[in-house]
Structure 1
Amino acid sequence: MRDQAESLRLKMLASSGELARTIAVVSGKGGVGKSNFSTNFAHALLKQGKKVVIVDMDIGMGNIHILLGKSPQHSLMDYLIGTEGINSIINQTEEGLDFISGGSGLEAIMEWSDDTFERLTVAFEHLQRTYDFVLFDMGAGATKRVIELLIAIDEIIVISTNEPTSITDAYSMMKFIFMKDPDKSFYLVGNRVTKANGGNDAVLRLQFAMKKFLQKETTILGFLPEETVVQKSVIAQTPYFLTHPNALISKRLLTMTEVFTNFNRKQENQKRLGFIGTLKNIFTRGRD
């Protein structure tokens, strides 16, 4: 009864107002700093006065709460199986960043029964009407349901290092998404750059490959240098954007964030209105 009442309440939220931009942060492989980027990017958005929530969708390997130095009592898994309501799984840091932990066993629920999918869409609708930005920190893998979610999400930020395998896997991920949705917006970020003068190698190669082989334009947000403050912040379980705001990496991240929030805003406002509808259509087709 509580679940039905909550579902009805969320569905009756006022339809007026601007919906949040939905963003997926992805990488072709693990170990490239994707989740670390997500937590620091979210804090850079907060600095701009935006209301932000991170949803940890890294199946079985979620670590957003660890990077933030938190131990949440409840997770997305608890909500999806019906033991907790949406508000009880939203956690907040002292700086005002909200996040939802994925929880162990989430991989088992990601095949999405009808009831699970209904709860998922109710939660996402709530997040879209509550926040300015909803960041989905995705895992490195690409299951069928994960790809469906990526297709529905408005914008994709792709994190890559200069390692050949990272570049190749990132391209494969983008190509797979592009084949399902040619209109998807991709933003490229080069991470862990060791040479300032060659830092754009990874993202330039990705941009070139997408243009040459798929005739798809992508946007380069920039690149982040390899700095010792990153490892220090991970050990301290506090984002470097907070502990070292004057570091080069923090300054570059802030510039990236400003570029991203202002880029093609009018077009994205129109596109993102279809996030929930797109997700529902994909799920319905998959059940036919």
Structure 2
Amino acid sequence: MMRDQAESLRNMVKKNRSVDFQVISITSGKGGVGKTSFTVNLAYILQKMGKNVLILDADLALANVDIVLNEKPKYNLLHLLTGEKNINEIIWSSKYGIKFIPAASGFEELANLPKEQQMFILNSLQDIYYSFDIMLIDTSAGISESVINFCLAADKTVVVTTPDPTAVADSYAICRIISNYNTGNMELGLVVNMTDNEKEAERIYNATNNVIRKFSGKTIKYYGCIRKDEKLSKSIRERFVLTSRYPNSKYSQDLEIVAKAILEGNLPEKKENFWRRILNNWINLKFD
């Protein structure tokens, strides 16, 4: 059955239409570092830059994107998996214009989907991706098989951390794992969130980059930092998009710089798209 699914996905990949579409995975070694708020606000900034952006909430059983956006989507990935709705029918457009594919909260079975169902979700995404310029994948926190697969298949992976020592240690760990498995041209970079100043952020980046270079011989990019901003806590409590309401805040100014740094990174490889990469990784991991 799995081989049949893989062959079907292979055939679908060959029909790919877009060469400019970018996939950016956003991940973290631990929760509580502001990853989902970063993803939503990054989507808003990219949208203001003229990009057509879609967010995939890939924390399948603990949805957060809808909470940050203060939205109550009618449908989610569970409706896709049960066949009640197709992929176009579950895309939700927020009042900010940000489009996202909602996950579902409180469904334990979604946390450990059979590979056939994970492949089905990926296959379904091909029906809509060429309508967008960028897909942001908000992964679950931590190191899991699905997180690593999404990161390896992306054009760019952004690891979000904070100066908290446990967050820094966990960011070391996830960067090492991704670097060790990254045999392609996926660009891996670090963003230091909730920092006091850029000097502190650069110190954390340099330490992380030195560890990665020592153990894998590779390097990671520095996408920048986002300074502490009391308005972020307010936006989370009151559920509004900070970059929309306070475009001149420290958070908004810093995130715009980070967004430009991410866009100015390596361009996607035209010879191999997201679905081919994730399929190849999947086969290497699961069928060898």
TM-score by length of 2: 0.87
Partner secondary structure for residue 83 of structure 1: coil
Distance 1:49 1:122 in 2: 27
Distance 1:196 1:142 in 2: 27
Shift in CA distance, 196/261, structure 1 to aligned 2, threshold 3 Å: closer
2:270 counterpart of 1:270: yes
Distance 2:29 2:273 in 1: 26
Q: Which amino acid aligns with 2:210?
A: F
Of the candidates 235, 238, 250, which is equivalent to residue 237 of structure 2?
A: 235
Partner secondary structure for residue 126 of structure 1: coil
Partner secondary structure for residue 199 of structure 1: helix
Aligned length: 277
Q: For residue 256 of structure 2, what is the aligned residue in structure 1?
A: 254
CA shift at 1:105, angstroms? 5.3
Matches within 5 A, 1:109-258: 109=110, 111-113=112-114, 115-183=116-184, 184-258=186-260
Task: After superposition, give the CA deviation of every residue in 1:178-222 in whole Å (9 maximum; x if it has no partner).
Answer: 222244311110100124543323222212221233221211011
Moved more, 102-111 or 239-248: 102-111
Shift in CA distance, 121/131, structure 1 to aligned 2, threshold 3 Å: same
2:44 counterpart of 1:43: yes
Partner secondary structure for residue 96 of structure 2: coil
The unaligned stretches of length 5 or more in structure 1 are: 1-6
Shift in CA distance, 144/197, structure 1 to aligned 2, threshold 3 Å: closer
Moved more, 37-46 or 175-184: 175-184
Provide the alpha-carbon RMSD of the alignment.
Answer: 2.5
Shift in CA distance, 64/163, structure 1 to aligned 2, threshold 3 Å: same
TM-score by length of 1: 0.87
Task: After superposition, give the CA deviation of every residue in 1:140-188 in whole Å (9 maximum; x if it has no partner).
Answer: 1322233223222221101011111111111111111222224431111
Q: For residue 3 of structure 2, what is the aligned residue in structure 1?
A: none
CA shift at 1:137, angstroms? 0.4
The unaligned stretches of length 5 or more in structure 2 are: 1-7
Q: For residue 30 of structure 2, what is the aligned residue in structure 1?
A: 29
Shift in CA distance, 123/163, structure 1 to aligned 2, threshold 3 Å: same
Distance 2:245 2:210 in 1: 35
Q: Is the 8 A contact 1:21 1:128 kept in 2?
A: no
